[in-house]
Structure 1
Amino acid sequence: MSEMRCPCGLGNYAECCQPLHAGKQAAASAEQLMRSRYSAFARHEIDYLVQTTALGQQGALDVPAIAAWSKANQWLQLEVVSANEKLDKTHAQVEFKAHYQDLKQDGQTPQVHHEVSHFVKHQGAWFFLDPTTEMQITMKQPCICGSGKKFKQCCAQYL
């Protein structure tokens, strides 16, 4: 089992994304977090997807929908297009293409989910900034990442 290829495409799962999924190590970069999140979708590690989303967004996630999308697809390949680890001191951006087959449709036609994702580093850990949560965020409220800064001075430009 330890020889199982990691869904993210880098090495075997036991040495790649599994330690992150198991909480034994934290992602060292935004790209590594994004890769581990792709692997979490492929392996249906829904709790990991929640835990690696910005702290202030976790309660607004539609967890049943995330789980359903994870399980409704066969995840084929991850392609990292680009990674900018230094948008500023705490923010990064990763552009990627997730190749999959939608098992609810015909399960045969390859699909591609192309996304530019943003990440924030808070207290030494990377988190995904989810642009799909339905939250009413004001520019003057504390930032969703937990930085203590106002939202407009922190993560607003990345959502």
Structure 2
Amino acid sequence: MPAPCPCGLPAAYDDCCGALHAGRGAAVTAEQLMRSRYSAFAVRDAGYLLRSWHSSTRPRELAFDRDVRWTGLEILGSTGGSAFHTEGTVEFRAHYRSGGAAGEQHEDSRFVREDGNWVYVGEAARPGR
């Protein structure tokens, strides 16, 4: 039985985010890119994460915390980010376990198109922050 995709959609990893990681497709929406980036963290695919990061904010390298295991993704909302937009945001909550303790990362991420492809820019500014 094929491994389920870490992004939470009802599909096998190889047919879902794995296809994007392998370069067999590109994210059509900002949410799809967000899901694929979460999955890349879950499977520790630093190359994909760096390729899908905006050139102006991309780090030179990426190291993973060996104790962190990503356990689930919730998409809380989004603005723009469709196939017809050039920018968008995706608010999410990512769950993980580290050293036996549960934790979560909550972020409203900003995405834009660079060379026609969706890329992650950074955390979106939220009113009141």
Give me the TM-score of the superposition, normalised by structure 1: 0.70
Matches within 5 A, 1:91-110: 91-102=87-98, 107-110=99-102
Measured on the aligned residues, the alpha-carbon RMSD in Å equals: 2.3
Aligned equivalent of 2:64? 68
Q: Determine the C-alpha separation between the residues in 2 that align with 1:98 and 1:62.
A: 24
SS of residue paired to 1:6? coil
Equivalent residues of 2:7, 2:38 under 8 A apart: yes
Q: CA deviation at 1:128?
A: 0.2
Aligned equivalent of 1:8? 7
Tell me which protein shows more strand as a share of its residues: 2
Q: CA deviation at 1:13?
A: 0.2
Equivalent residues of 2:30, 2:81 under 8 A apart: no
Q: CA deviation at 1:55?
A: 1.9
Aligned equivalent of 2:106? 114
Aligned equivalent of 1:34? 34
Identity percentage of aligned residues = 40
- In the alignment, structure 2 segments of 5+ residues that lack a partner are none
Letter in 1 for 2:89: Q
Q: CA deviation at 1:90?
A: 1.6
Give me the TM-score of the superposition, normalised by structure 2: 0.85
Deviations along 1:41-60, one digit per CA (max 9) or x if unpaired, are 000000100000002333xx
Tell me which protein shows more helix as a share of its residues: 1
1:52 aligns with 2:52: yes
Moved runs in structure 1, 4+ residues, more than 4 A?
A: 86-89
CA 1:86–1:19: 2 relative to 1, 3 Å: closer
Aligned equivalent of 1:151? none
The number of residues matched between the two structures is 124
